[in-house]
Amino acid sequence: MSAAPDKWRPSLTLVIFTVLATVGVLPLVGLFFFRLYDNQLIRQTQAELIAQSRVLATIYAQEVTARLDSGLTLGAEVPPNVLPDPGDQVTPIRPALDLTANDLLRRRPDAQAAPQPAQPAYVEIGAKLTPIIRETQKVTLAGFRILDPQGVVIAGRYEVGQSLAHIEEVADALHGQYRATLRNRVPDRPPPPIYSFSRGLGVHVFSAMPVIVNNRVAGVIYTTRTPSNIFDHLYQERAKFVLAGLAVILGTIAIGLVFSRTITLPMRELIDRAARIGRGDREAFRPLRHYGTREFAQLSHSFLGMAEQLARRSDYIATFSAHLTHELKSPLTSIKGAAELLQDSFQGKPEGLTPAEPNRDRIFDAFFTTRRDQGGTGMGLAIARAVMASHGGSIKLKPTDEGAAFELQFPIA
């Protein structure tokens, strides 16, 4: 049997280690490739903006309601399908921004000049709420702008008196619908190269929540914030991630030890037994110390049993050959004796040596004889052919009119 091509092949231990390492890093690959963690941070930021906007919207609505008698003008009427069901005790707004859904918009357009200034009552409300949003901004780091029903900024750090009504999310909010968007952000300074793995650093979350009074839009709470970066969050939670990483490493090592105990070690021992059997070591037929799995135990039992049977047959053949050699003495003695017998007993009787035509193709078959009643065994010519073949020669029956003629071919020494 030809040997396998000599080329590099990984060991079973290396394959198992590679598989376990790959499985161990798959969660991290999923976090970065599918932006799962970025999405979680973005939705967390959106949820915070919703909560902060809802509080400001409630305060703003109270201020507007208190000034309705002074001729304060409300905005567009909210469609019935947008209004919450009066019977519902809770009407949560669930964060739904998705960085992988290709809903990232361009950078927010600049504010425009307002077609007309805000009503004095709205300006008064904005001035009253400005200290609140500034104090809130110090803690939350979010940007706040309060807009009147026409989209004019009445409170905020920047753009007061200008209009934001042309911005998509603000336009939806002015018609009574909550809208949140993701927009591109240009950082104040280039981020470190490793931050390029996270798109969360380059976006802004914008939230536009309408303030509804008497089923009409009384204004918009427009908030914005940059979501936390995945690397900043990992650094903040570094102790937990180190523990999680150690747990994964220890778990991987434990699984690797199980694989080694149940597969690698028994297989190496079986390979060693096969090599020892090939060298003739009869102690190698003993059962293995460890089998690992039921299937491997069956495999080793079958292999060692087969090897033991082959060894017994080899012993039998060796014993038979020794006995046969003892009986025949040596090939030369046997040939000489056969020649003398032919000369003494069969000289002048060629008709007794001529094989019948149907038997010419079978005379070299073992145990074939036409003189079994006279003690023939049918082994003579079979042994002669085997002896010639073992020395690289051959013996053939040649056609002849009388008697039997054989051609013996010997290899050149």
Each residue's pLDDT tens digit, 145-190 = 999 999 999 999 889 999 999 999 999 999 999 999 999 876 545 5
Q: Which residue has the higher pLDDT, 314 or 103?
A: 314
CB atoms within 10 A of CB 102: 6
Predicted local confidence at residue 207, as pLDDT: 96
For 106-129, what is the mean pLDDT? 93
Confidence band (pLDDT; 50, 70, 90) for 373? confident
For 4-10, what is the mean pLDDT? 69
For 310-328, what is the mean pLDDT? 76
Q: Which residue has the higher pLDDT, 100 or 200?
A: 100
Average pLDDT value for the chain = 81
For 268-295, what is the mean pLDDT? 84
- 52 pLDDT more than 90: yes
The region, left, alpha or beta by phi > 0 then psi within -120 to 50, assigned to residue 118 is beta
In this structure, of 30-39, 263-272, 313-322, the range with the lowest mean pLDDT score is: 30-39
Classify residue 17 by burial, with Cβ atoms within 10 Å: 0-12, 13-18, 19+: middle
Q: Which residue has the higher pLDDT, 130 or 371?
A: 130
Q: What is the CATH number of domain 346-409?
A: 3.30.565.10
Sheet containing 143-147: give its strands across.
Answer: 104-105, 179-184, 203-213, 216-225, 143-147, 153-156
Predicted local confidence at residue 57, as pLDDT: 95
* Rounded percentage of the chain residues whose pLDDT exceeds 90: 28
In this structure, of 68-82, 253-267, 364-378, the range with the lowest mean pLDDT score is: 364-378
For 324-331, what is the mean pLDDT? 62
- 140 pLDDT more than 60: yes
Predicted local confidence at residue 337, as pLDDT: 65
Q: Which residue has the higher pLDDT, 88 or 44?
A: 44
In this structure, of 131-145, 263-277, 341-355, the range with the lowest mean pLDDT score is: 341-355
Residue count (the chain): 413
Predicted local confidence at residue 198, as pLDDT: 42
Q: Which residue has the higher pLDDT, 262 or 175?
A: 175
List the one residue out of 219, 218, 209, 208 whose CA is nearest residue 153. 219
- 33 pLDDT more than 60: no
Query: Would you state the CATH architecture of domain 12-236?
Result: 2-Layer Sandwich (3.30)
Please give the Cα distance from 152 to 168 (Å, whole number).
15
Q: What does each C-alpha distance from 26 to 19, 41, 383 come to in angstroms?
A: 11, 20, 68
- 305 pLDDT more than 60: yes
List the one residue out of 380, 282, 276 whose CA is nearest residue 331. 380
- 55 pLDDT more than 90: yes
For 268-294, what is the mean pLDDT? 84
For 47-66, what is the mean pLDDT? 94
Please give the Cα distance from 245 to 403 (Å, whole number).
92
- 278 pLDDT more than 90: no
What tens digit of pLDDT does each residue of 187-228 get?
545 555 444 444 445 788 999 999 999 999 999 999 999 887
For 269-288, what is the mean pLDDT? 85
Contacts of residue 347, defined as CB under 8 A and 6 or more positions apart, other chains included, come to: none
For 233-257, what is the mean pLDDT? 82
- 293 pLDDT more than 50: yes
- 125 pLDDT more than 90: yes
* Rounded percentage of the chain residues whose pLDDT exceeds 70: 80
List the one residue out of 299, 303, 267 whose CA is nearest residue 285. 303
